[in-house]
Each structure stands twice: as structure tokens, then as C-alpha cells.
Structure 1
Amino acid sequence: MVSRKRLLALISTVVLSTILFMSCSESTKSTNKSNKIKIGVTQIAEHPALDASRKGFVDALASKGFNDGKNLEIDYQNAQGEIATAQTIAQNFVSQKKDMIFAIATPSAQAAFNSTKNIPILITAVTDPLKAGLVKDLSKTETNIAGTSDAAPIEKQLNLLKTLVPNAKNVGVLYNTSEANSEIQVAQVKEIGKKLGLEIVIAGVTNVNEIPQAFSSISGKIDAMYTITDNTIVSGMPILATKAIEKKIPIIGAEEGQINGGGLATEGIDYYKLGFQTGLMAVDVLNGKNIKDMPIETLKETQLVINEDTAKKLNIAIPDELKSKAKIVKGGN
């Protein structure tokens, strides 16, 4: 028979071994979890251009072996157009100690930058990071930010407007008065429009619901419209396009999503490619590159996109020369 003293010793050994085993298991789980790189994605609003840039970013990471659910933990948050919500999202990412923040559009980028100067922030769909106060230099940011600008080729797009609507003299522009990104673009459109002999008629909104009224206020004064990369206006593009078509007013957009939403045409950038380019920059940061030494990049390639259904509704004949090199889309309104 085993003595009581020996029995107690055996029980103690078993209990100790079990505790050590459980501790090791928990430690392993914790280590495995901490090995995942945590990336917080903050997006100001949901619309095709910004969604495409997010997909491009994630795909670029995956192309280099960084996969969500494996060695990455991506936390996607959408502010639904609310700047205060974007600020809360950014602050939460900081308190959650994310390893990187991917900020889509100017308000989200500004909210992230205001919340941390330590966590690397990759940005995209920001028209002018310098004027937005995000970087000190476009060629070497000297801050915890790098990424891509979606600055539209405005002059090329207004020339497209003159080609498709040759009699246009007055061009309407709607914008969100609270977006710094939009104010910058409106100033650029006015300057370039003047050079091209176009009078720019502007109207401001603060949310999507104000778009119909703002459009009505200028519709009798304009021959065509140009839509900038304003997140509020882009979100309300189906509404705006329907109203414009009713009044036989063609819309030239700053990017393809606006044309899919019912605009007539654009010579714009591909937001998926822009996001992919940003994702490759994120890979460089994850591999040890100093973000302060990185530039703000732009996408040089543009794509001509024409909405054939919209052209028919507006009775606009697309020149064969343009049609032969364009991406033709349909629907949207």
C-alpha cells in the first residue's frame, strides 16, 4: 500500500503538472495571438471608390504574404460620413494598440493623425495631404504618415467636358462645405475652369439629403456639371444623376464610381489600383522601412470611362475616337 505521505506527494505532483501545462497552453495561445499584426482600417463613408481602394489595399498585403485571419488581424470601421465618428474610431484604434492604421479619405486621415504620432498611418483617397496638415513634405513626409493621393486630373476632365458638351459655358459643382479636401478641389476647378473659358457655379451641402435642393438652386444656371471626389456628393451620386438627367444636364465625374452611378463620363484614376499601391507601401513599413522617409505617391494612369445609357438619355453622341479607347459602362440611374 502507498503511504498517505506518498499519496499526497503524488497528488501534488499531478496538480502542479496540470497547472504548468495549462499555463504553457495559455501562454502559447497568447503568443500566437500577439504574433498577428493588428491593422485598423478607418473609412469615412461607404461608396464604390473608397470600397475599391480598401479592397486593393487588402489584396496588396495578401500578394506579399500578409493575410487577414492568418498573420494579420484587420479591424474595419466605417464612420458613415460622420467626422465625430471618425475621431472616435481613430481614438479606439490607439487605445487598442493597433500596429498600423489605414485611413481612407481626408477626414479619416486627419482623425487618425490627430489621435497618434507614433502608430504608422497609411492613407489613400486624400487629395492634398500637405494642405490637409498631414505631412511636412510630399517627397519625404517626416511624420508617421505615408500613402497615396487621389488628386484628380481636373484639367483633363474639364477638357473632356468641353469635348462632349462643346456648347457648355457654365459648369455646376456641388461640395460638402465641411470637407477640407473638397474646398481644395473647388478652388482648383475654379482656377482651371477660368483658363478654359468655363464659369464655375458652386453650391454647398452638409449632408446627402441636401443634394436635391442644392442641385435645384443651380440647375437653371448651368449647362453641365463636374463632380469632384467629395465623399458626400459621391455617396449621393444616384440621386444627383437622376435629377441631372431629368434636366438634360450631363455630369463629368472625377472617377469611375461616379459614372457607374449615372454620370456621363470621366478620365479618372482607378481606386482599386490606388489602394493596391498603398498596400505595397504598407508592406514596406511592415518589413522595417521608416515611414518618415517615404513619399506621398500618386497614380499616373488614367482611364476613360463612358456611360452609354446616360449618353442615350441625354441625346449625346459619343465620338468614335473616344468610344474606341473608352471603357463603356451601362446603367446607374
Structure 2
Amino acid sequence: MPELPEVEVVRRGLARWVRGRTITDVEVLDPRSIRRHALGTEDFIGNLENSTVLDVVRRGKFLWMPLRTEEPEGTGGAVSGKMIPGEVVPGVALMAHLGMSGQLLMQDPGVPDEKHLKVRFRLSTSDGMPEQLRFVDQRIFGGLFVTSLVPTSDGGPGGQGETPLPEIAEEASHIARDPLDPHFSFDDFYRKVKARKTGLKRALLDQGVISGIGNIYADESLWRAKLHYAKPTDTLKRADAVRLVDAAKEVMSDALAAGGTSFDSLYVNVNGVSGYFARSLDAYGRAGEPCRRCSAVGLPGVIKREQFMNRSSYTCPICQPKPRNGRW
């Protein structure tokens, strides 16, 4: 699954190409990709055509595009309800869930359709900018739907965006802020993680505690912080928690600079280019290889792979010693 850096790479690309442009036409080639829009294809299209994309916003792995819509007389969508002619619709957004293989690609009309193209958006023309936004999804675990925006619980911006507003997509309103969010609260994170009474990695994967961190970046953050994934959260010292959050910020910033982590052609930015942070991973996927930190000082550390929640965890047994009272 794409994690925060991969989704942020997509967000930044979309913000560059679609912010301020109007969706002039929507073509749904596979209704399965809008199955989360309960009222179906016609309503999905009706809520989006003639809408202007105000911004592209992300919280954790959630991505949405706030819209401004002026609907003609006699129309009204499931989200906006019955409209007054020319009324501006507040609090509506196009939500995108990338799943395991979803891609949002900017293309010109002359580019042949991708094999797994599911939804096509035609945009108002703008000099030098691609005219189409295409949603491509090989495995169909992702999807698009129109949703309502609701006020944020803390009064801060909903997430990372170009023009932050105190609104958030309803489906993302339950998740915590991520480490790269300027409004992230360490005190709030530390209070939540101490209350979980579970293993540290399990808490990192809990989007209600801290968002945007998945299996790859949890392992990388724990390695950088020299903490084992099974360390009980209720015994976590404040200094260790500070080190862990700093490590998460560093690893995600490094991943962003590299365009994200791509293990196959499915993880790409809006121009179809893969990220290369996988080359810099220190723990994840390196089972049996020397620990870079230990080997640098002459210690015989070797990365070890262990089963964890139907996944894998990668640690160095020397610089990330397993706690005696560890929790999974």
C-alpha cells in the first residue's frame, strides 16, 4: 500500500496541474472504481461536472480535492442537495483512495488510454498543461467518490494543502495528524501512544494515534530511533518518543525527496515516474544483510525478518534489542 510520502508526491503533482481548473466532463469506464459513491454513476458525474478544483489536500494517506460548484437551475446532487440557480456549493470534495494500485495520471488527449483506465476527467484548457486527469487501477482496490467536508475537531487546517482551510473530508475526520503536518501535536501523540498499552509498531500503524505511517516507514523509523517494534507503549519514555517522531519526520522527508518508495511500476507520480527511495532503505526488505549502523562501527549486526500482524518486521538485534516484556 502507498504510504504518506507516496500520497504526498501525488498530492503535490495534482496541486500543480489541477488546482484552479474546472472539470468539464467526466467519463466513468468502470463503475467498480466509484462503488464508494453510493448513489451511482449519474450522481457522481453530476456532482463533478462544471466544478472547479480549489485545492488538493492530504491527511495521512487520505487525499481529496475541495470543489466549488455552480449548478444550473433544476439540478442538485447527493452531496449538495437542492440548489438555487448559480449558488456556490460549500463543503464538497472529490475523495481519492489509491488502494494497492491506484494511479492519478495527467495526460494529453493524444496519449493512448492506459490498459486499466477506470475514470477520465477532462479539464478546462490551460497553456502547457495536460487536459486530462486519469484514474488507472489495475487491481481495483482503490476508488473515487464525492464526499462532504466537515469542520476539523481542533480548528486547524484539514491537512496538507496549498490554501489550508479548517475543513476535512468526512471519511478522514477520525484519523490523527501525521508527523509532517505543521499542526501535529507531539503531546497529543505521546498521550495516545502511552494509553494504547500495546507494542510500539502496532501503535504506529494505528491511524487514530498517528497517521500516514505504514509497514515500510514504521520499520525505517524504528530503526533510525534504535527502538524495537515490540517495545510496550506504556513504558515508552518521553525522550524515546521524541526520538521516534523525529526519525519518522526524517525518513518521510527523505522519501519525499526521492519521490517515494516504488517496488514496482504501480507506485508512480502524476507523470508516471517511480520513486527511488527503496534504494535507501536501512531495514525494510534487507533480511540477512549487514546493519549499516552496526557495520559502520565494526559490530556484527544483521537485519532480521520476523512475522508481524500477517506482515513482516525488519530489525537489527544488536542496535534494536528486543525487550524482555515485549508486546506484539
TM-score range, shorter chain: under 0.3
Bigger relative CO (Cα 8 Å, ≥ 6 apart): 1
Structure with greater helix percent: 1
| TM-score, with structure 1 as normaliser | 0.26
